[in-house]
Structure 1
């Protein structure tokens, strides 16, 4: 058996990730391997019981509670959301299933802080009356945080308590989880990680997303607790990993979307999982149901994607012979097309594609409430053509050594990081 603690130490050092915990469960055998420090400013050591934010890995937890409510006969997945939440000012055709599969069309990166009160999720839902609809419900895929806050509000209404309280009653306590939290005053009772900006490694100035985003991404947990949740889904809720829609991008073997779960094809092996990213804390969860393997990696750095790719490939190749599929790479000697020059915009992002000094560039600016959490106000990336060489497919990356990110252009939008961003004018 490889020494996974040594491998984590080597790779985290290689990619300048200050602190991480690898959690690995292989058919009953568990390994928890910590590395580094939780906070470079204080030097607090990472331990096996350290708590990291898991970000959007929260979404399958919220989805599990929705599936429980469906099993109890208190909702149906094809119910219209407005039947369950009459106060929600959204397209009346949107269903619960479309929220679970990111096909509602709601422009979903709304990070408005509606306060710390128990009514914060209810107040957030009221804001969606002013949020644009990107496409007709059910006609496309675009990652939607707002949809999971809506699901959280459905849970609150049907359970008669806050989403946080339902999470504790329905999942945390039944699973015997000892360090799964949703609020900073809970996390501070544990050894809690702090995010570090990718690149310069500086400590972030804001620790957590607003409480109103809870159902979409504010769980913090230990690796052991995440693995217990993964084991639940190895044994139950198989319907949640039945394919619902095809994923339109090309990254990490992601092929289809289930009920919140992302479904992966790794050279014929079918895995499910999710990633999470908050304020420079990145989490990764992959589960191979055939081999009965659950892998989680919790980190406190924006540099974590490269660490995940290499470490997960080593772990899964050792156990199954198959690792993370390679991302698309730049093609050699391909000339980028100019037909996509112009501006693109959604609720949280303003993007411009332009040509400068013979290069095709993309500038990204966080807008709206997301500006509060952005590491840099404006970032610039070079777009490099990739296969198929049709002028519509490109890749870029955060920095040297990090994985390539695919970007696909369509006549009326660009698609990257799972999101549709509509075109608003031409260059």
Structure 2
């Protein structure tokens, strides 16, 4: 069947609207100190693409429509889609135990492939990239995917986990006999027309953006080093541009022959037990789900060292919005920019879960204790006034504001503003708080304070 191809608006109509969007992107990039950024919007019938600035602030190299950016966790969309394509070819079944393919998960025989892709496997997040760089995928998974480290029974909770996607990448390799990079290129990148580029390549085949951060002492931009470990590739190693993200977005909307519409619909279907809290309103197989004004969007966000990338898809209308930027400040730029998009998309583009109506704050002294996600410790203590504070791995504690539904907000110490934090979970049998979920990552209670 034929699939619609968007035609650039500037080629035939609405050049003023495109220029307004270009001007807005230029001004926001300056305001947020983002060297370069690219926004691409497919309205379902037309394509608008605007970009600005430099790919490398040190050299002044231009940020173009072809510039590839480290996507961070948006890579997971491609890994999940590759697994779905293998399932569509009957090479595996999503409800198979992962351990039947990946022996390193033999201590977790109830974890299925579906659990991995929906972050409902109960796996810890995993060690930092510097630590992961010193090991192999097999040792990484054997050391982390243990019964002792499991956060909850598979399918009963949500915890965003890079380890789950490292396991999914290992699954792809063992099933196809190729490396993850080779398999993703063959199954997705080549059919989509995306020129492959991965972190760690000695000679990248396409121009790439450098990540940037602001030096707090001098206020100057400085380049950042991408330190993703090789074993973490399936969770975050892909580089691509905003137009490439539009292509995978069209596939997620069922508008591309690369992903059959039924397969794309399976990726967008909410997974049981997936309650991601501050990350999204739900989760499918490899994609976050957002509810906005009666519409269900899907997509993913990704942050590498000094880059910020975002994808949103509304399947009913076919709208796809993709953004790449090469600074940590690009996340705020993205949030400001989407406020200008309703005229193009016909609807507001969600950047966060729908706000909850939770009532007035409450005291929750029973939440005090130590919680662990793998090696990461979340320590909740009470201040002099009996209010809870959160410290992660010994960092300075941040005040928590708790609500009757057991959700909580973090207080930004610089501005005093409330930021979505997560929620506590009680044991249904005893009523005792047994887990805390912060920014989508669950931690199991290991002691009281």
Q: State the TM-score, normalized to the length of structure 2.
A: 0.81
Query: Aligned to 1:276, what secondary structure does the other structure show?
Result: strand
1:409 correspondence with 2:428: no
Shift of 1:329: 8.9
Matched with 2:172 is 155
Matched with 1:217 is 236
Name the CA shift for 1:266/1:129 in 2 (closer, same or farther; >3 Å).
Answer: closer
Query: Aligned to 2:233, what secondary structure does the other structure show?
Result: helix
Shift of 1:196: 1.8
Distance 2:282 2:145 in 1: 30
Matched with 1:310 is 336
Query: Aligned to 2:105, what secondary structure does the other structure show?
Result: coil
Distance 2:28 2:164 in 1: 35
1:242 correspondence with 2:269: yes
1:55 correspondence with 2:72: yes
- Provide the aligned length of Structure 1 versus Structure 2: 411
Matched with 1:98 is 115
Contact 2:125–2:441 (CA under 8 A) maintained in structure 1: no
RMSD over aligned Cα atoms: 3.1
Contact 2:278–2:422 (CA under 8 A) maintained in structure 1: no
Contact 1:179–1:225 (CA under 8 A) maintained in structure 2: no
Query: Aligned to 1:203, what secondary structure does the other structure show?
Result: strand
Matched with 1:164 is 181
Name the CA shift for 1:300/1:403 in 2 (closer, same or farther; >3 Å).
Answer: farther
Name the CA shift for 1:73/1:192 in 2 (closer, same or farther; >3 Å).
Answer: same
Distance 2:50 2:28 in 1: 13
Contact 1:156–1:162 (CA under 8 A) maintained in structure 2: yes
Name the CA shift for 1:33/1:401 in 2 (closer, same or farther; >3 Å).
Answer: farther
Q: Which moved more, 1:412-421 or 1:182-191?
A: 182-191
Distance 1:277 1:195 in 2: 12
Shift of 1:244: 1.7
Distance 2:224 2:30 in 1: 23
Contact 2:291–2:354 (CA under 8 A) maintained in structure 1: no
Alignment of 1:183-194 (within 5 A): 183-187=200-204, 189-194=206-211
Alignment of 1:190-339 (within 5 A): 190-196=207-213, 203=222, 205-234=224-253, 235=255, 236=260, 237-245=264-272, 247-251=274-278, 254-316=280-342, 318-324=344-350, 328=355, 334=361, 336-339=363-366
Match of 1:364 among 375, 387, 392: 392
Distance 2:110 2:358 in 1: 42
Contact 2:185–2:196 (CA under 8 A) maintained in structure 1: no
Q: Which ranges in structure 1 are unaligned for 5 or more consecutive residues?
A: 366-376
1:345 correspondence with 2:362: no
Matched with 2:141 is 125
Contact 1:327–1:403 (CA under 8 A) maintained in structure 2: no
Q: Which moved more, 1:7-16 or 1:243-252?
A: 243-252
Contact 1:4–1:33 (CA under 8 A) maintained in structure 2: yes
Distance 1:276 1:339 in 2: 34
Query: Aligned to 1:382, what secondary structure does the other structure show?
Result: strand
